[in-house]
Amino acid sequence: MGFYDFLSGNWPEVRDATVDHAILVLEGLGIAVAIGLPLAVLIYRTVLPRAVVLGIAGIFLTIPSYALFGLLITPLGLGNGPSIVALTMYAFLPIIRNAVVGLREVDPAVVESARGMGMSRAKILLSVELPLAWPVIVTGLRVAAQLLLGIAAIAAAVNGPGLGNLILQGLDKAGTPFAIYLTIEGAAAIIALAVLFDAAFALLNRLTTSRGLSA
């Protein structure tokens, strides 16, 4: 049986796993943004808290993924829970760091003149600083998404959803002719998702960034 015959045989499984994979990544990303962005806003003007938060986010990223997923089984059990939490932790560094960098790069003269015109602190943040930092923030999201797409394959090891399951099946069947097909399916679908996500974020950036900021 050739690869294409094999693929047409288990296509529904590949399709469902791909959708699950994308959802898993988006969940991790969403939670990381929901926590990371406000956190970045709180710390970008400080010194010590900024160093501490970025330091911790950096440490998260260095924990080997198998170890982190495994460690999370104890408090969170198997399945979705540990998978989402692990992905969130990995996404923190690119998201928070880019948001902090983007906010710190806003021209102080722009912020000062906004204050000088009588804009409130909240208004300056929402209508000046965040829009100006936005392209850098979106780049952080894009990097985080690529990172998570790869790491999310490990979720299968803790009974999580996604394309990792195809790869894991392949490992189980090592030595049989199907092993290689399953692995190729899993890897190819992840690459396809990566390309798709990248294009989506590029589009998001284009649509949501002021023309005044693009080159």
Partner 1 sequence: MTDVATGTIRLEKLTKSYDGHGKPAVDSLTMDIPAGEIVVLVGPSGCGKTTTMKLINRLIEPTSGRIYLDGKDVTRENPDLLRRRIGYSIQQTGLFPHRTVADNIATVPRMLGWSKDRTAARVDELLNLVGLDPDTYRRRFPKQLSGGQQQRVGVARALGGDPEVMLMDEPFGAIDPLNREALQNEFLRIQAELKKTIVFVTHDIDEAVKMGDRIAIFSQNGRVEQYDTPEKILSEPANEFVSSFIGAGAAVRRLSLSRLADVEVPDNWPTVGADDSADRRRVAAAGTDRDFLLVLDADRRPVGWLPAAEAAEDGRTVPLLGALGPGDTLYEALDRMLTYSSTGHVVTDAEGRYRGVLELDSLRTLIHANNSAAGQSQEVS
- For the bound state, the minimum distance from the C-beta of residue 213 to partner 1, rounded and expressed in Å, comes to 5
DSSP state of 79: S
Q: Is 16 a residue that touches partner 1 (CB under 8 A)?
A: no
Question: How many residues line the site for partner 1 (CB under 8 A)?
Answer: 20
Assess contact for 143 and 153: CB atoms under 8 A: no
- Distances, alpha carbon 209 to alpha carbons 119, 133, 174, 199, in Å: 22, 10, 48, 15
Of 59, 67, 203, 213, the residue at the interface with partner 1 (CB under 8 A) is 213
Which range touches partner 1 (CB under 8 A), out of 83-91, 113-121, 148-156, 193-201? Answer: 113-121
* DSSP string for 131-198: HHHHHHHHHHHHHHHHHHHHHGGGGGGGT--STHHHHHHHHHTTTSHHHHHHHHHHHHHHHHHHHHHH
Q: Is 176 a residue that touches partner 1 (CB under 8 A)?
A: no
Neighbours of 82 (CB within 10 A): 24
- C-alpha 88/C-alpha 183 separation (Å) is 25
Q: Is 131 a residue that touches partner 1 (CB under 8 A)?
A: yes
Place of tokens 């399953």: 182
Pick 107 or 172: Cβ nearer partner 1: 107
Of 30, 52, 59, 120, the residue at the interface with partner 1 (CB under 8 A) is 120
Nearest Cα neighbor of 152 from 30, 21, 29, 26 is 21
- For the bound state, the minimum distance from the C-beta of residue 127 to partner 1, rounded and expressed in Å, comes to 8
Q: Is 132 a residue that touches partner 1 (CB under 8 A)?
A: yes
Which range touches partner 1 (CB under 8 A), out of 46-54, 96-104, 189-197, 204-212? Answer: 204-212
Q: Is 110 a residue that touches partner 1 (CB under 8 A)?
A: yes
Assess contact for 57 and 97: CB atoms under 8 A: yes
Q: Is 126 a residue that touches partner 1 (CB under 8 A)?
A: no
- For the bound state, the minimum distance from the C-beta of residue 120 to partner 1, rounded and expressed in Å, comes to 6
Of 117, 174, 175, 207, the residue at the interface with partner 1 (CB under 8 A) is 117
Binding site for partner 1 (CB under 8 A): 107, 109-120, 128, 131-132, 210-213
